[in-house]
Structures are given as structure tokens and as C-alpha cells.
Structure 1
Amino acid sequence: MRLVAGRTADPEVLAAAVRAARAASDLVAALPEREVRRHTRALLDGVRSALQGDGDPGPSALAAAALLGSDRAQQGVPVAALLDGFQAGRSHLVEAVIAEGRRCGVPADELLDGVTRIDHITITLARRMVQEHRVAELAAARTAREGSLLTLRHLLHGEPVESLTAPLSPTGQYRCVVTAVSDPALAGPPEQALAAAGPGLCGFVDGRLAALTGTVPVLPLDGPTAVVTPPAEPSGLAPLYALARQALQAAESAGLTGLHRLADLALLTATPADAELGALLAGSLLGALDPTDPFHRELAGTALAQLAHGGRTDRTAAELHVHPNTVKYRLRRLRELTGDDPLTGGVEHTAHWWWALRSWLA
């Protein structure tokens, strides 16, 4: 039992279980990783507490399984995809326990007994999870909202819709908004803000809160990251939605918050698609710098901030909380070390430096 408790509490086992669950189901993989991690951690805690107790999942473990089933139903993840991810995570846990048990010399009979107990616990959790998934699906199906949500998902996935009803029109122009909100419990305020920009539809698509709106919504600058596309007719929304999801991922990786227009994120979205080329640029332009040297990282960070502020030293200094002369000194040292200047040259030269600096710092 100490062995199992240690493995279920191991951050590496948690991370590997999350990877296994996402690899086993494309729909689970489409969810934000932190969302899968949140539920996986709760279920591992439930397995550990059950093994340390009388062998049956307690109220907290059953509640975690119920929440997982309910959340995935609201996020539009079918129960089959949910079970694929759950079973992959369970299999990884069992394999980790067996491997560690063998390494520690635990007798085979005791290992088998432990795995059998884990199976009993996970089967109980899976039943509760499926039950709550079904309850949430039935509750949604009894409301008009479910029909609107299905329409939204069909439109954004490029699937045929028999007929559009109010508030949408086949010839209307709508903007697609994709947000970083993945927890249904936190969807209230942003959903109200998106509805205020209507007429349109709003709900969870591929695990994230999304909407079709008539105008650009007003969202807090320090709120969850969100991307809004240009307006298009319903038949042309699916490609924009796919681009918006890529842009949202890029914006989150860059630490951006609030609402951003899709076009404004074009470069930020396109460059991560070819990480090898970015690394090649970084090696070519920044080969003289050592990524483990804090001072060299300061030089690169300062140059990237200077590019972001259009070469304005005062704005760069304000962002970095340093004196303008410090900015000038760092840029001069960067020029001396690399033999090049990120701030001189044409558009292509500047873009290459921007890409190289981001890749090198990452």
C-alpha cells in the first residue's frame, strides 16, 4: 500500500497518466492539458485514499469521478472517448505500480492482489463517471439549449446543419470567439459577456467556451485568453474556428490575456508550426549566446521587448522596469556578441530576429 501511495503521489506518474489519456483519445487531447490534469489528479488521489482505507472509494473519490463525467458531457466529449482516456490512465498506473513493485522485490502474489484492488476501485469510479455523464447528457437534451449547442458544434466543425433558426441566419455575418475557459463552473461571467455581443450562440466546443457573436465582445483585459475572428457567413466559419484554436494556443503560450483579434496573432500563430526552422534561425543569429547564462538571456529578452515596442527605448525600459540607459547598454552588448543588430534592416530581417529570439528564449 505504501508503494501504491508513493506512485499515485508521484508528479511524474501524474504527468505520464495525463499523456496516456490524451494519446488514447483525440477528443480528450483536444481539451486543455490542465483540464485533463485536474481530473486525473483527483482520481489518483481517490485511488490512493481507497487503498489506504477499506478498499472502496470514499465520498471525495466518487465526487471526483462524478465531476469528471459531468464536465466531459458539458464539454461535448462522448462517453466512449472519455472511457478511452480513463482506461489509458488506469493502465499506465497499473504498469507503473507493477514495474516499481518488481524493482523493489514485492512478491508476485502481493502485486497481483494490489492490482486486483486497483481494478475494483477504478471500475467503481468508472461506473460513477459514466452515470453522471449520462445524467448530464439527459439534462441537456431536455433543454432548448442543447439544440443550439449542437448547431454551434456542427457549424464550427464544418458539419451539415439541416436548417438554421433564430438567432442565426444563413446569410448573416458572425464572428467566432474561442476562449481559454475550460471549466464549466467558471463559464458564467464570460458566457454573459459573449451573449451580450449577440445575436448568436454560445457553449463548450472541443472543451473550450466558444461563441458566435454579431459584434466584437467586450472582455476584461486581464481575463481568460480569447480570440475573435473576422465576420463570416455560417458556412464559412469552420476554417476560421480552426485558425482561432491555433491562435489561442499560441496566445496562451505567449502569456497573453484578454481578447485578441485573429489577424493580430498571425505571426505568433504561424511561427510555432515549424519549431525546427525557428531553432535553426536561433542558432544562426544567436549562436554566440549561451542560453544558460542569465546575462545573455537578459540581452535576448531586452531585444525582443525592444522589437515589440517598435524600437522605443522608453517603452521597453518601462516594461522591463530598468533605466533606458540599461536598455541601450544591453542592445549594444548584443550587437557586439552577435555581430548583428535586430533593429536595423528590412521587414524580413526584423521578422527573422523576432522569431529567433522567441525560439532561443524558449
Structure 2
Amino acid sequence: MPGQPGPAEPLERVIAAMAVQQWHVGGRLHPELADHIPSYRAVPRELLDQIWQRHFHRALAVVREGTVPAPEAFDEADVARDRVARGVPLGDGLRAFRRAMSAIRDLFLAEATERGLDPGLVVDRTRCLWELADVASLQIAAVHRQAEVASALLDARRRAGFLRGLLYGTLSAAEIHSGAAIYGLDPARPHRAIRAVPDGDVDPDAPARSLESHGRGNGRGALLTVLDETVVGVVEEKPEIGDLGVTAGLGPPTDLTAVHRSFRAAGRLLEAARAYGLRGVYDLGDLSWRVAVVAEPELAELLLERYLRPLEAEGQFGALVEESVRGYLETGRHIREVARGAHVHVNTVRYRLRRFEELTGTSLDAPDTAVELSWALAARELRTPPRGPAGPAP
């Protein structure tokens, strides 16, 4: 009828009334978020105002048009990155968004009721606002998770970059102290470099996390990552790894600014432990001079030629002689213990030892013979070839 308002006019009056109260409603909402969602206390008020304005204007558009935008129309990436950077969990972000949407729906219902908006239109637009909340929540969750993944990858790259520089000795003292503060390392305490490889074809990321977890505790610091398929990092103390399937070399304790030297030692220890087929974490105290056996193959070959190759010509008897000689050294030259372990008479052991001296032209009483023979026997134990590279050498 002429003079009677069209259906759009009452709706526009509701929208106009809502727009007038935008900042009044937002002003009540902000302290509610801080009270009920503690993580939002880290978000500055001006940022909250910006996102509130975005949500409010989008909701007014939905009330006016009666349609909800497609998910890809919701650009929440900047908000997601900000919340992730401030440590706001996804659940808290969704709770805050739902509170904002609830406030907008309540405002719409109040203004629509006061102005006598058609009940059917009220129901339809309320449904649209619910749908808007659902679609936006799914999109917020998706971009938040993407931002978390991106943040984690960036953090992993930064962590790896810091550790690479620390372990290869390319960081300044200022960079070391700055990184230590970020990653929970105490520059006043000595640290030990560690290099580890997992058993078999296991992804090294999981052992890296486990070793870091074992390295922490009781106020100790630890930081590990994976570089070139090798687990590397620093720990304050030798980690107890239980049944974790890794072989690791642990360098000596040193100041963080000199930990690159410990890293080089850790590489040699890892190489030696793997050569002997060992599992676990090994430092110089564990492997001692055996590290040099691996590092000096030419000398090892010379000593094998001098002390053990002459026994090979004796066949099975030569193997028995070698077994007795090995037991003689391991028991501290106690012939009776060697005989008891081999289930033979002591005179049999004496004969084998004397035959060893005849075949090699050496004396088992000579100090040099004990050292060189131990070296040759350790070289005999080496696994050949080793199971793979011990990681990049600095």
C-alpha cells in the first residue's frame, strides 16, 4: 500500500541501531575476554578493536543480505599468526570468537524485538548469524592450524640455525648469549656437545625429541635438532636413555662459546662407538684409547700384522692362542682365571702364551707389548664396514 514501509526499511533501522551500539557492546566484551580467557590478556586492546570491527561489519552485512560468505572469503590469516605468536591456543581463539558472535546475535534480537521486525525475518537472520559463526569458526580453526605449522617450521629453522652456528663455531658471543636465553640454556654452566644416530632406518626427529627430553630435568638445559640426518645438540649432563635405540658420542664439558670443540670430539666418539657396534651414549671415559684405534687405521693394520696375523697360520690352534692372550690381558695377567674361564689346565694356558711369544717374537711381560697387543685386539673387534657416516665434520 502507498505510504507503508517496505520490508527492507525496518531491517535497515535495526541495522542502523546496531551500528550505533558497536563500540558500546565491544567495550563490554573486551573485559569479559580478559576475565574468562586469560591468554587474551596478552592481546593489545587496539588489535581486539580491529578484529571486533571486522566481525561486527561482516555480521551486519549478513543481516542485511541474508547470505553467508563462502569460507575462502574469511581472511583470518593475520589474526591467526598474531594469536599463535602470542601463545593464544586455538581453543581460546574460538571461545573469544563465539563470545563476540553471541554478543552480536543478542544485540540483533534486542533491536529487532524493540522495532517489531517481522518474526519470520528475525528467525531467518538469526539462523544466518548462527551459520556465519559456524563457517567462520571452521575457517579460523583451519588458518590457525596453518599458522601453528608455519610457526613451528620457522622455530625449527631458527633452532637449527642457532645450533649449527653454535656447534660449528660461527656465532659471536653476543649471538650465543641471545640464543641461549631464547632456548633455555645457561651460559654460566658447562655444556657437552652430542651427536647421535638412531638404529636402522628410524626417522631421527623422534630420537632428537627423546634425547632432549632425557637431557632436561632437575634444572638442566638441553637443546637438540637434526642436521644432515644426524641428531646433534648440547646437554649439560650425560643423558640416561634407557632402551632408546641410538648410538651417540658425547664431547667433554666446555663453555658454550667453545662448545664447537666438544662437538668435534663428539663426532670422533660417535664414529668409534658405531665402529665397535655399540648402542648408547659414550664419552671419552667410556671408550678411552679405543677412539684412536678407529682414527688410526694404518697403525691398527701394522699392529694386526705384527701380533695377530702370525696366529692365523696356525689355524684353529692360533684362534685358541688368541683367545688365551686376550683373556690374559683382560684378567690382569691372572693365568688361573684364564684357565678357569676356558675350562683348561693352567699349563695349557702357559703353553699357549709361550707359543704366542714364539710366533710373534715378543714378550708378554714387556709394557709395549701389552699396549700394542691391546690395540691390535681392539682393531680386530671393529665392525667393518661401519654402519654409515657419523654426520658432517665441522
TM-score, length basis structure 2: 0.47
> 1:344 — aligned with what?
365
The offset of 1:210, in angstroms, is: 2.5
The offset of 1:265, in angstroms, is: 2.1
> 2:281 — aligned with what?
259
Identity of aligned residues (%): 24
Structure 2 CA distance for aligned equivalents of residues 152 and 262 of structure 1: 22
Contact 1:286 1:338 in 2 (8 A): no
Picking from 265, 274, 279, the partner of 2:296 is: 274
> 2:168 — aligned with what?
157
Cα-to-partner distance string for 1:42-74 (whole Å, 9 max, x where unaligned): xxxxxxxxxxxxxxxxxxxxxxxxxxxxxxxxx
**Which ranges of structure 1 fall in alignment gaps of 5 or more residues?**
1-134
CA 1:216–1:361: 2 relative to 1, 3 Å: closer
Picking from 205, 216, 222, the partner of 1:195 is: 216
The offset of 1:324, in angstroms, is: 4.9
CA 1:333–1:246: 2 relative to 1, 3 Å: same
The offset of 1:332, in angstroms, is: 3.7
Q: Which amino acid aligns with 1:148?
A: R
The offset of 1:270, in angstroms, is: 1.2
Contact 1:156 1:241 in 2 (8 A): yes
Aligned pair 1:144/2:155, yes or no? Answer: yes
CA 1:331–1:180: 2 relative to 1, 3 Å: farther
The range that moved more, 300-309 or 154-163, is 300-309
Structure 1 CA distance for aligned equivalents of residues 337 and 228 of structure 2: 39
Look up the SS of the partner of 1:227 in the other structure.
Answer: strand
Picking from 180, 189, 193, the partner of 1:176 is: 193
Contact 1:226 1:259 in 2 (8 A): yes
**Which ranges of structure 2 fall in alignment gaps of 5 or more residues?**
1-145, 383-394
Q: Which amino acid aligns with 2:180?
A: T
The offset of 1:247, in angstroms, is: 1.4
CA 1:186–1:165: 2 relative to 1, 3 Å: closer
Picking from 326, 349, 357, the partner of 1:304 is: 326
Structure 2 CA distance for aligned equivalents of residues 202 and 195 of structure 1: 11
> 1:51 — aligned with what?
none
Contact 2:339 2:349 in 1 (8 A): no
Q: Which amino acid aligns with 1:350?
A: A
Look up the SS of the partner of 2:319 in the other structure.
Answer: helix
Structure 2 CA distance for aligned equivalents of residues 337 and 186 of structure 1: 49
Structure 2 CA distance for aligned equivalents of residues 255 and 218 of structure 1: 19
> 1:216 — aligned with what?
238
Cα-to-partner distance string for 1:84-103 (whole Å, 9 max, x where unaligned): xxxxxxxxxxxxxxxxxxxx
The offset of 1:302, in angstroms, is: 4.5
The offset of 1:333, in angstroms, is: 1.4
Look up the SS of the partner of 2:232 in the other structure.
Answer: strand
Structure 2 CA distance for aligned equivalents of residues 218 and 312 of structure 1: 34
Look up the SS of the partner of 1:245 in the other structure.
Answer: helix
Structure 1 CA distance for aligned equivalents of residues 329 and 156 of structure 2: 46
> 1:77 — aligned with what?
none
Look up the SS of the partner of 1:288 in the other structure.
Answer: helix
CA 1:270–1:149: 2 relative to 1, 3 Å: same
Q: Which amino acid aligns with 2:246?
A: P
Picking from 343, 346, 352, the partner of 1:333 is: 352
Structure 2 CA distance for aligned equivalents of residues 206 and 310 of structure 1: 43
Structure 2 CA distance for aligned equivalents of residues 220 and 314 of structure 1: 36
Structure 2 CA distance for aligned equivalents of residues 171 and 300 of structure 1: 50
Number of equivalenced pairs? 222
1:237-248 to 2 correspondences below 5 Å = 237-248=259-270
CA 1:236–1:354: 2 relative to 1, 3 Å: same
The offset of 1:219, in angstroms, is: 2.2
Q: Which amino acid aligns with 1:235?
A: T
TM-score, length basis structure 1: 0.51
The offset of 1:158, in angstroms, is: 1.5
Contact 1:164 1:170 in 2 (8 A): no
CA 1:349–1:292: 2 relative to 1, 3 Å: closer
Contact 1:307 1:343 in 2 (8 A): no
1:1-362 to 2 correspondences below 5 Å = 142-161=153-172, 162=175, 163-166=178-181, 167-181=184-198, 183-184=203-204, 186-187=206-207, 188-196=209-217, 198-220=220-242, 223-290=245-312, 293-311=315-333, 322-325=341-344, 329=348, 332-339=351-358, 344-346=365-367, 348-359=368-379
The offset of 1:331, in angstroms, is: 6.4
> 1:113 — aligned with what?
none
Q: Which amino acid aligns with 1:356?
A: A
Q: Which amino acid aligns with 2:329?
A: L
Structure 2 CA distance for aligned equivalents of residues 155 and 292 of structure 1: 54
Cα-to-partner distance string for 1:314-338 (whole Å, 9 max, x where unaligned): 87789xxx54537974564143144
CA radius of gyration, larger in: 2
Contact 1:303 1:342 in 2 (8 A): no
Contact 2:185 2:221 in 1 (8 A): yes
Contact 2:307 2:376 in 1 (8 A): yes
> 2:109 — aligned with what?
none
